């Protein structure tokens, strides 16, 4: 049976059948935002500038690597950023201060990846207002980045960055459940920066670069070109797995695709194959796979599994413009 999101990126009878529900969803979303912005529903915040990095669509647009890239840029320019996130898939209750040694089941895969890659303080919690307050109270930060949360209007924000996937863009243009949109495209006209993932012609954009692969167990590194001599299994449990597969192909690799749902909880059989070809995966997936055990030759089963760190290359205008906005709104 096809998943609902199969119908989101084309006009088809299923999408049209669900259109009345989409109109209701859009109306409720607009009313809810209006109530928060006009003070009919209470909002909360912190004393520091809050930058929300989100999107108006469901599925992967590259927010997490962009957050990592923005944290690195801000630190290079004298800021001390901290990050809050819902922590999708985390088993902890309330607000949790993510540690680099946490398991992904405790912290969630994306917050743990952000923590390990940036070293910045990261606090997770379904209540982003409470998470932001814990972050500010317990860490020496001067700017708060919210990983997702554009529709979490209870959190006051100073700057909104909307991320758009240049490949899939807005799908069929419908809101949930007929299409992938959480809000209508008109919402982009109200944000401070629209950042396009992959569209180098846009004023504000970023792209992901793969330079090397890291062994899941030993930490050994190899250039991506080292995997061009044979076929490889490519594993991705992210919002848009096809982008990962295509980027590997663009670097000359022959890929056997294994796509999983976003935030998939991996088991060993998902990444262990009888042909013993190398396995490449995203870094987000690797934080969940490093401790997997298998009954099939456990000392060897994972020794040819590698993850590919993605580095966000920011357009020349993006970083300076964000810095300018933060300084204006301090």
Confidence of residue 48 (pLDDT cuts 50, 70, 90): very high
Go through the chain and tell me how many residues it has.
330
Confidence of residue 50 (pLDDT cuts 50, 70, 90): very high
Mean pLDDT along residues 150-173: 93
Out of 92-101, 138-147, 205-214, 293-302, which region has the weakest mean confidence (pLDDT)? 293-302
Q: What is the pLDDT of residue 5?
A: 66
d(CA 74, CA 266): 33
Cα end-to-end distance, the chain, whole Å:
51
Mean pLDDT along residues 209-231: 90
Mean pLDDT along residues 262-272: 84
Q: What is the pLDDT of residue 294?
A: 52
Q: What is the pLDDT of residue 6?
A: 66
Mean pLDDT along residues 34-52: 95
pLDDT higher than 80, residue 297: no
Q: What is the chain's mean pLDDT, rounded?
A: 90
**Assigned token pair, 5:** 């999101």
Out of 45-54, 86-95, 271-280, 318-327, which region has the weakest mean confidence (pLDDT)? 86-95
pLDDT higher than 70, residue 299: no
Bin 297: left if φ > 0, else alpha if -120 < ψ < 50, else beta. left
Largest alpha-carbon pair distance within the chain?
62
CA 6 to chain CA centroid, Å, is 20
Contacts 24+ apart (CB under 8 A), 72-75: 72/118, 73/314, 73/319, 73/322, 74/143, 74/322, 74/323, 74/326, 75/118, 75/120
| CB-CB contact of 176 with 182 (8 Å) | yes
Indicate the burial class of 234 (C-beta count within 10 angstroms; 0-12, 13-18, 19 or more): buried
């Amino acid at each position: 049976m096809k998943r609902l999101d199969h119908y989101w990126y084309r006009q088809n009878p299923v999408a049209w059948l669900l259109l009345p529900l989409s109109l209701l969803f859009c109306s409720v979303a607009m009313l809810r935002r209006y109530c928060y912005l006009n003070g009919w529903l209470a909002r909360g915040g912190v004393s520091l500038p809050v930058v929300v990095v989100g999107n108006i669509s469901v599925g992967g647009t590259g927010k997490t690597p962009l957050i990592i890239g923005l944290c690195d840029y801000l630190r290079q320019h004298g800021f001390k950023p901290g990050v809050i996130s819902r922590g999708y898939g985390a088993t902890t209750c309330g607000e949790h201060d993510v540690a680099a040694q946490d398991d992904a089941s405790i912290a969630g895969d994306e917050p743990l990846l952000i923590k390990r890659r940036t070293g910045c303080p990261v606090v997770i919690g379904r209540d982003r207002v409470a998470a932001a307050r814990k972050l500010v109270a317990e860490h020496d930060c001067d700017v708060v980045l919210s990983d997702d949360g554009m529709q979490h209007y209870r959190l006051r924000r100073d700057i909104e960055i909307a991320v758009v996937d240049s490949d899939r863009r807005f799908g069929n243009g419908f809101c949930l459940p007929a299409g992938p949109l959480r809000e209508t495209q008109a919402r982009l006209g109200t944000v401070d920066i629209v950042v396009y993932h992959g569209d180098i012609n846009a004023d504000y954009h970023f792209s992901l670069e793969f330079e090397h692969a890291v062994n899941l167990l030993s930490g050994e590194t190899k250039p991506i070109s080292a995997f061009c001599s044979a076929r490889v299994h490519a594993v991705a449990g992210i919002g848009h797995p096809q982008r990962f597969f295509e980027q590997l192909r663009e670097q000359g690799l022959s890929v056997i695709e294994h796509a999983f749902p976003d935030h998939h909880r991996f088991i060993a059989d998902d990444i262990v194959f009888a042909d013993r070809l190398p396995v490449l995966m995203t870094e987000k997936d690797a934080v969940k796979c490093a401790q997997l055990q298998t009954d099939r030759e456990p000392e060897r089963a994972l020794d040819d599994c590698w993850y590919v760190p993605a580095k966000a290359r920011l357009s020349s205008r993006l970083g300076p413009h964000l810095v300018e906005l933060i300084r204006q709104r301090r």
